[in-house]
Structure 1
């Protein structure tokens, strides 16, 4: 299965992006193909309804990545109780054809205990785009946002939670995967 991972932070040392890399390691270890699209390294232009498909290599790559995915991971930092502007902007460029019938895992990193609002907002956006929300989600906060030099969460509880949620996501995506 091919899984797209969209890292929606605009920060170089983002913990939500570190969590994406850890998830990618888990998925590759299970034999899945992955594409991690890091919006910090590959920003897309500001969405405008007046120009829905601007000529931009990063945007074209993002759209291609999402179209080719069998399942999707969306990861955002918690900014003022919401998804990042970077993530929302990228999602505004995408549509039904990128999400329809695909299982989506929502992921958040927050300075507080749990980033519930951004996760719920991501799930609302996914529903609107005809994606299928995985009932599992991942939120790391406070001191649980620490990663070692190899990119593994320092907290054994975060490692366990991430593996459990990713495994559920993969089982669900495999069961719902539309034949090519």
Structure 2
């Protein structure tokens, strides 16, 4: 029966919490699928080394991992989305259930290389599906100097904007040149232990949420708004050369 204390709610689209969907008895049995992005093209890229070290830990935790190489990825809007590198990135985003973003901090921010990868991921529905919505995310950064959190803080904002479930923990690796050995492996110590913590937490959150990610991100406002209206609103700035702005 409609509740007359909330007259502004559309009762045809309002839903009580569905505990069966929130706590499903059947859950996926396959290995969690995690995509890792890094934000540097240098021959000895510490963000790449950290993403590779993270992937090793994730595989030890039972995950299937893919590391995307951003070399050759065009600037956003400087090539069609059929470009092979763009298509490869988008296919991996559709494949994964969780992501790890690792960026150097450059001029107090994430790198343009890192941001370009994220900018190529569409926000609007592709075939009725938002590629990142409901997927888990862990963020990490490397710095040449003292420890900082500017890049991870920026990536957290982006993760929320992309409707991802960004885990509470994160990794910031200062003086990265002194943290990796000549073979490119991360040295043991508190910084390495923190990376293990972050990957462990990412796997836990992925296992907890992947079966019901669609339900967790189902929104009353979008049930009220038609798909056609939503698509028009999301893509409207594209005609002006701007970026998609939804994601709140």
**Under a length normalisation based on structure 1, what TM-score does the superposition of the two structures give?**
0.90
Once the two structures are TM-superposed, the CA of residue 90 in structure 1 deviates from its matched residue by 1.2
Consecutive unaligned residues of structure 1, counting only runs of 5 or more, are: none
Q: Radius of gyration: which is bigger?
A: 2
Deviations 1:40-95 (A, max 9, x none): xx3311112x86x4331111100000111000001111011111101111111113
Take 1:47 and 1:143, find their aligned partners in 2: how far apart are those partners?
29
Distance 1:83 1:116, change over 3 A: same
Deviations 1:12-31 (A, max 9, x none): 21111101010011111122
Of 46, 54, 57, the residue aligned with 1:15 is: 46
CA RMSD of aligned residues (A): 1.9
Take 1:30 and 1:143, find their aligned partners in 2: how far apart are those partners?
24
Structure with higher strand content: 1
Partner of 1:159: 192
Partner of 1:106: 139
> SS at the partner of 2:190?
helix
Q: Decide which moves more: 124-133 or 53-62.
A: 53-62
Once the two structures are TM-superposed, the CA of residue 146 in structure 1 deviates from its matched residue by 2.3
Which runs of structure 1 show a deviation greater than 3 angstroms over 4 or more consecutive aligned residues? none
Distance 1:98 1:114, change over 3 A: farther
> SS at the partner of 1:178?
helix
Once the two structures are TM-superposed, the CA of residue 116 in structure 1 deviates from its matched residue by 0.7
Q: Decide which moves more: 128-137 or 153-162.
A: 153-162
**Under a length normalisation based on structure 2, what TM-score does the superposition of the two structures give?**
0.66
Take 2:41 and 2:85, find their aligned partners in 1: how far apart are those partners?
14
Is the 8 Å Cα contact of residues 152 and 159 (structure 1) preserved in structure 2?
no
Partner of 2:168: 135
> SS at the partner of 2:131?
helix
Q: How many residues align?
A: 176
